[in-house]
Structure 1
Amino acid sequence: MHLLSLGVVFGLAASALTAAVPHSHIVHEKRDATVAKKWVKREKLPADTRLPMRVGLKQRNLHRGHDLLMDVSHPESPNYSKHWNSEEVVEMFAPEQSTVDTVRTWLIDSGIDASRITHSDNKGWLAFDATTEEAETLLLTEYHLYGHVDGHMTPACESYHVPKYIQEHLDYITPGIRLLAPNKRRSKRTFRAKNGFAPLLSKAMSGVLAQTSIDDLSICDQLITPACIRALYGIPEVPEYPNNQPRSDNSLGIFEDGDYYAQEDLDLFFTNQTRGIPAGTHPVPAFIDGAQAPVPVWEAGGESSLDFELAIPLLYPQTVTLYQTDDLYNTFSKYPPGLFNNFLDAIDGSYCTYSAFGETGNDRMPQLAPSSRRVKQLIFSEPLSIQPTPIPLVFKASYSVVFTNQQRQCNEFMKLGLQGHSFIYASGDLGVSGGGPNENPIDGCLGPYGSIFTPGWPVNCPYITVVGATKIYPNHTVYDPESAVVDPLFDPWSIPYSSGGGFSNIYPRPSYQRDAVQNYFGRHDPGYKYYRGNDSFGANGGRYNRLGRGYPDVAANGDNIANFIGGYFTKNGGTSASTPIFASIINRINEQRLNAGKKVLGFLNPALYNNPGMLNDITNGSNPGCGTEGFRAVGGWDPVTGLGTPNYPKMVKYFMGLP
């Protein structure tokens, strides 16, 4: 679905002025100028440019969402693992019919023909396409093209107005004030070299690698292989299945956007680093908006290669399902890029049923994400599609986006948790500074002096499981305790890297982590001034919100990972590596629970915090950023490595003992 034609955008802008705002209208949203420091306001959009308008309706019962999710997720609840189906979730949170009718009538009375307005399957959105002239008349605003420093383009306005009687029925409208630039969590460094080895590896190390078997654990402090991961966390090499066959309804879901794998890389990795995984093994495609993969080896991306080269060896012969959003052309040429909006659209079905620009559903390729109507049958599911495909119960992602509709998306993760899905995300690679990898330290931090720690998104949402990164320090072994990742900038091609962590400015501390975080503050003084709640943001020189949701929740190894990208051997790293490791473990445990006649784990955090002894506590390292050392890893939960790294045998014993 082409959401914006840039060829039209670059045409001559119309010179019409926004009409005077009548007393019957009120500003619904206005952008804070400080959030647009990396954007340049460009030409006004031509009047005939067509925009995909989406109206977010106020939903019912969201205040009950947390308690409802805890009821099916806390191991001491009598309703543990009794997950809801999608119809039950829609019914609980759907907007009041009066809200739908009032907003629809306003749109029709404002000149939007009723036949152009569609209602999403989850009942939370009204969608229609409109010209810029129609949108400006409707919202009493002006749309301009905005350019980001990374080259990304998006249409937006500085503010918009709605009738006063309408305001109580709306969350927000897009395109609106949001400047959406994707911020993919990039690996902290990648070394490439011909002939199989990276140039920065010593000749001695290259010789060792050339003569080392895939089971050798002596080099794990220099290169993390699948054998190292299994040894670190006690993971059996071959999962046990009844009749030696994995289930067909349990697949690990991995989200990718703007980054694509090459089959040649996977085959090189399977041949050189694993046994028993045949060449040609690949993820199951579940493409959204015309995405295409694999790609030629020279177009391969590090994120996808890293994900599949970590997950498949830990799961095989279980499958991995690829939720690829968009193809290469559209990822960089249209608004908005896939990111979580397209993914969540596919989950609730509104994407597939929304028509605009002469297209309905997917663009070009007749492949979509699976139907949410099948959620109750799956171990992680999702939306109405042309070709319904089961969605895995466990889902991993390592991407982020900075925007102001975080609460709306966070509530969607809550709803999916109610349906039994486990969403697992990377905590980020810049410690407490939270900005993109191309930003300087001040730009990555908050406040006028760049001194306030920056919580990431979506990792500050309390309804997902966030994974930080650890490493084996030099001259240590897989049998020694790991440490938090701290890798400073050391060459022109590297990215300074430390495990993301901190405290949310939006979400208060959830009940499931109350005792763990209180214990952290009671026993360990981080050494920084703090503020209490976003209403007192930065007060008295505070660097972080003492009352916010803490993250990460857990950790796993994310440094010096063996990897093939673009046909070359590399070492790679990032919390993007830690996340598929943890997600694969959860998927294997789900397989065992299903085979035992039990339900899948769903939202993990209440159980993890209820029994932290099944994780390896990490007590060394920190996550520097914003000109500080950041937080330190200490005994118990900490905002660097969370509760710790997985201990697979203990996790299996605990989770298999739950109903």
Structure 2
Amino acid sequence: MRWSSALVLGLVQLCLASPHAKRWGDMVEKHSWTQIPTGWEYHSAPSPEQLLELRLGLKPHKMDELISTLYEVSDPAHERYGKHLSKEEADAFIAPHPKAVESVEDWLQHHGIDPSEVTHRSDAGDWVTVRVSVAQAEKMLGTKYGVYHHAKSSDYVVRTLRYSLPRDLHSHVDIVTPTTYFGTFRSMKATSFIQPEITPLELDVDTESLKVGEALSPDAVPPTSCNTVITPACLRTLYNTANYTPKATAQNSIGLAGYLEEFGNRADLQTFYNRFLPNAAGSSYTTVRVNNGQDDQSDPGVEANLDIQYAFSVAFPTPGVYYSTAGRPPFVADSQTPTNTNEPYLDWVNFVLSQSTIPQTISTSYGDDEQTVPADYRTSVCNQLAVLGARGTTVLFSSGDFGVGGGDCLTNDGTRRKLFQPAFPASCPFVTTVGGTIRTNPEVAVSFSGGGFSRAFPRPAFQDAAVSAYLNAIGNTNSGLFNASGRAYPDLAAQGQGFQVVIGGRVSSVGGTSASSPTVAAIVALLNDARLAAGKPTLGWLNPLIYKDLLPGFNDITSGSNPGCGTNGFTARAGWDPVSCIILDQPTLVAECFDCF
């Protein structure tokens, strides 16, 4: 029997195509939700022609080595302490393996995407972007997209409840977005709030203010008014920074990450300075726009003004940078423009890591419940924050304003168990997380101060002694409601209530750990200034240093609690605790410890 030439050709093509098709057809789930994330509802099916900017985070080839390096350069006992990485050195660690690049390109070509259509979004090559239709993305990821609505923020996004990748790509691709992360710039939480119950100070009434470098007794205490309302003079006296004048302002800077279409108002800053820090009047800051971020001076934001006015006043005259990070336009049905990716942190951290020079201290006052953030997204963002630390930047996040958890605290894994709800990125081990306090003599943990234990990230070894001591002390209290082996936070704390903020030309009282984080960031910036002026490297990732035994420069907070989830939460005690932890006392650390590390 003779084979027809057409049949032979068809069999040859089948033999050539089958291994390739089999390779990319063997799909394995990457992430899925058991239910639509809380606060969101299905709205409609997107148009199949709707365009998405599909972003692929390729697995860094030497991430484990970078994290090992981070530990070494952050440990005062290590010979590499302070020898932070340059941008080029960091890029070499996080670059993907050539095989990963080759596999992803092969997969994209299998789906008809030409290499010329692929955009590399980072110098290290670990992020690539392709513009595809919803129908094509569904085919590539073995999923179905939907348009989902978040009623509270009025956001509409295109997301999916699950997605898959070919088995061969799981070892090469960390994350694909937009997929299962439903957080957006407008739906995540800013950790600040107006406090109308605290009467604000008037602009035209003279109250105590301080000039930078003005001499104060080391034993000076804040006036009793600081128990109710906080001004820069309160903070500079309480945390003993008033006698220090920055000397390395040509080398040092402090940054603030802004989202939620929040804009700092320069006129409000001048009003604030004239009222509370007169010798800073006339100075300003730099706004850096990320992802087409705006700087609308007609729309002052509570969060932005709070962060800017206190971080830059306490650290004055250290140069300040405000990052205005925007999301893309919201979803519009049948539009042919890319839909709303709007994923917090990734746009900002990718941008910052692409810069050769970045601020040595950066504070961020936003977060989500950890359980609402997919594991692949959490890991990717946390690893990128580790890169910032390896490059010598101290990254601080507020701990949140819901104690051990807000709302009903039910898990979203289908079991609906009531558990304490840690916050992210506060729970990332590579950031320094800041809780809140009130009053001045002594300071007490404020009840809303977020704190607890991650259910996603294990506890770093340097926390073992301090955290174990606390766990032993509380015994079975709250047993089963938290992960005792998880990364514990906060790491530091500072005042968090009654901050006097100028908004639209008027003073308002504002509270939240959004006030605490920029305060600590300003103190760290002063520490960095002193180190740079002495020819020493910046502090970088603080956490291994914070938990060192007998480190001077800290005051312990031993009272207060952070209730939530229908419980009393955790109670502050001597030593570390997941409510307020310890607060920085700047001059002691500068004077006594610079020779130690």
- Per the normalisation by structure 1, the TM-score is 0.78
Q: Is 2:208 the partner of 1:213?
A: yes
Distance 1:583 1:131 in 2: 43
Structure 2 match to 1:179: 182
State, as a whole percentage, how many aligned pairs show the same letter.
Answer: 31
Within 5 Å, which residues of 2 pair with 1:264-413? 264-279=267-282, 281-296=283-298, 299-326=299-326, 330=329, 335-337=340-342, 339-349=344-354, 371=355, 374=356, 390-401=357-368, 402-404=372-374, 405-413=377-385
Q: Is 2:117 the partner of 1:167?
A: no
Structure 1 match to 2:471: 521
Distance 1:638 1:501 in 2: 9
Distance 1:44 1:446, change over 3 A: closer
- SS for the counterpart of 1:424 is strand
What number of residue pairs does the alignment pair up?
A: 549
Distance 1:230 1:445 in 2: 43
- SS for the counterpart of 1:81 is coil
Q: Is 2:74 the partner of 1:73?
A: yes
Q: Is 2:221 the partner of 1:226?
A: no
Structure 2 match to 1:607: 545
- SS for the counterpart of 1:578 is helix
Task: Say which of 433, 437, 455 aligns to 1:505.
Answer: 455
Q: Is 2:436 the partner of 1:431?
A: no
Structure 2 match to 1:639: 578
The farther-off stretch of 226-235 and 603-612 is 603-612
Distance 1:166 1:641 in 2: 43
Structure 1 match to 2:251: 249
Distance 1:636 1:110, change over 3 A: same
Within 5 Å, which residues of 2 pair with 1:462-481? 462-472=429-439, 478=440, 480-481=441-442
Distance 1:35 1:658 in 2: 52
Please tell me whether the aligned partners of residues 246 and 316 of structure 2 are also in contact (alpha carbons under 8 angstroms): no
Distance 1:306 1:320 in 2: 14
Structure 2 match to 1:652: 590
Please tell me whether the aligned partners of residues 484 and 622 of structure 1 are also in contact (alpha carbons under 8 angstroms): yes
What is the one-letter code of the residue matched to 1:394?
A: T
The farther-off stretch of 510-519 and 548-557 is 510-519
TM superposition shift of 1:288 = 0.7
Distance 1:584 1:499, change over 3 A: same
Please tell me whether the aligned partners of residues 246 and 526 of structure 2 are also in contact (alpha carbons under 8 angstroms): no
TM superposition shift of 1:30 = 4.1
Rg larger for: 2
Distance 1:441 1:237 in 2: 46
Structure 2 match to 1:145: 147
Distance 1:652 1:25 in 2: 58
TM superposition shift of 1:420 = 0.8
TM superposition shift of 1:448 = 5.1
Structure 1 match to 2:445: 484
**1:108-143, Cα deviation, whole Å (9 max, x unpaired):** 121011110123322222211112222223223222
Structure 2 match to 1:584: 522
TM superposition shift of 1:396 = 0.5
Task: Say which of 370, 388, 392 aligns to 1:420.
Answer: 392
Structure 1 match to 2:158: 155
Distance 1:332 1:138, change over 3 A: closer
- SS for the counterpart of 1:179 is coil
Q: Is 2:501 the partner of 1:567?
A: no
**1:583-620, Cα deviation, whole Å (9 max, x unpaired):** 11111111111111111111111111114442110001
Distance 2:510 2:432 in 1: 23
Please tell me whether the aligned partners of residues 291 and 324 of structure 1 are also in contact (alpha carbons under 8 angstroms): yes
The farther-off stretch of 105-114 and 25-34 is 25-34
TM superposition shift of 1:639 = 0.4
- Per the normalisation by structure 2, the TM-score is 0.86
Please tell me whether the aligned partners of residues 441 and 625 of structure 1 are also in contact (alpha carbons under 8 angstroms): no
TM superposition shift of 1:415 = 1.6
Distance 1:310 1:526, change over 3 A: farther
What is the one-letter code of the residue matched to 2:363?
A: K
**1:246-280, Cα deviation, whole Å (9 max, x unpaired):** 5223110100012112222212211111121124x
TM superposition shift of 1:158 = 2.7
Distance 1:249 1:208 in 2: 34
Structure 2 match to 1:107: 108
The farther-off stretch of 394-403 and 549-558 is 394-403
